[in-house]
């Protein structure tokens, strides 16, 4: 089965350069990171379920010249309610990625059904909520915002410290600084910063 592609910059946090269909990737602390996962889909479709606040165009430029998440290839289901699992099940057929925030942690049989369907249909699941069986967990631990002063400037970009965990992770506990996005609007790996500075930011 082909991997669901991700942006080159995210290969630093996604082992194998893509998400295996049927796997669940948990994203904590950043909707932008969840959208960034979908920014490498190219002409594949993506669905966003149960995140009415997610602003899809934010990821449109994440890929730079390669483009990002094409809003025209996104389906939004803002209020799936109790039927969220059926909605996700339907959308795995056709979409290469479904980003979902379940209203509660999915019971094991439901989670199993969804991952089986997703694997069969070549779809990767990304969740911003609790999900026990998530193969990979990405967490934004800290943000460093650039461009804003004390009443001056405007936001230009941020460096986000992403930690990778889960059984699908190549090196658990891996920490990567990403521009999410950078001043040019793209997602790239940010150069390493000194540990002292890191701790100060994470504090």
Partner 1 sequence: MSRASLPDAPGPGGPGAEAPDSRTPGFEVPSPGTPGAEVPGPGTPGSQDSGGPGTGGGAGTVPRVLVVWCPDWPVTAVGLDASVPAAVVASGRVEACSAAARATGVRRGQRLRDAQRHCPGLVVRDRDPDAEGRLFETVAAAVSTITPWVEVVRPGVCAIPVRGAARYHGGADRETAEESLRIHVQDTVVERGFDCGVGIADGLFAAELAARTADGGAIVPPGGAAEFLAPYPVTVLNRPELADLLPRLGIRTLGAFAALPARHVASRFGADEVRAHRLARGLDVRPPAPRPPHADLSVATEFDPPATAAEQVVFAAKTLAERLHEALAAEALTCVRIGVEVTDAHGRTQSRLWRYDGGVVGRGHGGETGVAGRSNGGEGGALSALAVAERVRWQLSSWEAPPDDEGVGGIVLLRLLPDQLVPDEGRQEALWGQVTISDRIMRAAARVQAMLGHQAITRPYPAGGRAPGERVVRVPVGDLPPGPAASEGRWPGRIPDPAPAVVHPDPLPVRVTGADGAPVTVSARCAVSAPPRQIEIDGRVLPVTAWAGPWPARERWWDPARFRRRARFQVVTADGGARLLVVEGGRWYVEADYA
Q: Which of 10, 13, 41, 74 binds partner 1 (CB under 8 A)?
A: 74
Among 14-22, 31-39, 109-117, 163-171, the segment contacting partner 1 (CB under 8 A): 31-39
Task: Using CB under 8 A, count the residues that bind partner 1.
Answer: 57
Q: Which residues pair with 140 in a beta bridge?
A: 162
Instruction: Please give the residues from 158 up to 177 whose contact with partner 1 meets the rule CB under 8 A.
Output: 158
> CA 37, 40, 44: angle at the middle one, nearest 5?
105
Contact 111, 133 (CB under 8 A): yes
Residue 28 CB, shortest distance to partner 1, in Å, is: 11
Of 15, 33, 20, 16, the residue nearest 187 (C-alpha): 33
In three-state secondary structure terms, 53 is coil
Closer by beta carbon to partner 1, 79 or else 108: 79
Interface with partner 1, residue 124, by CB under 8 A: no
| 57 near partner 1, judged by CB under 8 A | yes
Which of residues 108, 132, 148, 170 is near partner 1 by CB under 8 A? 148
Enumerate residues 6+ apart whose C-beta is below 8 A from 24. 111, 115, 125, 126, 127, 131, 133, 134, 135, 136
Strand (E) positions, 86-135?
A: 97-100, 124-127
Asked whether position 152 contacts partner 1 by CB under 8 A, the answer is yes
Residue ranges that bind partner 1, judged by CB under 8 A: 29-32, 35, 45, 47, 52-61, 70-81, 83, 86-87, 90-91, 93-95, 140, 142-145, 147-158, 181, 185, 201
């Amino acid at each position: 089965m082909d991997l669901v592609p991700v942006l080159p910059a995210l290969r630093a946090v996604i082992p194998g350069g893509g998400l295996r269909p049927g796997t669940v990737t948990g994203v904590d602390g950043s909707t932008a990171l969840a959208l960034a996962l979908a920014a490498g889909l190219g002409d594949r479709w993506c669905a966003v379920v149960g995140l009415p606040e997610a602003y899809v165009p934010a990821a449109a430029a994440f890929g730079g010249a390669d483009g990002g998440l094409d809003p025209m290839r996104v389906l939004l289901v803002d209020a799936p309610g109790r039927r969220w699992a059926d909605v996700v099940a339907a959308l795995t057929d056709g979409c290469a990625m479904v980003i979902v925030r379940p209203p509660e942690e999915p019971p094991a049989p439901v989670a199993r059904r969804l991952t089986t369907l997703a694997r069969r249909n070549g779809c990767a699941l990304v969740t911003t909520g609790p999900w026990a069986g998530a193969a990979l967990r990405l967490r934004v631990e800290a943000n460093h915002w650039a461009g804003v002063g004390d009443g001056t400037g405007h936001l230009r970009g941020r460096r986000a410290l992403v930690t990778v965990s889960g059984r699908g992770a190549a090196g658990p506990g891996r920490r990567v600084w990403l521009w999410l996005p950078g001043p040019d609007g793209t997602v790239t790996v940010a150069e390493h910063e000194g540990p002292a500075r890191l701790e100060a930011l994470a504090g």
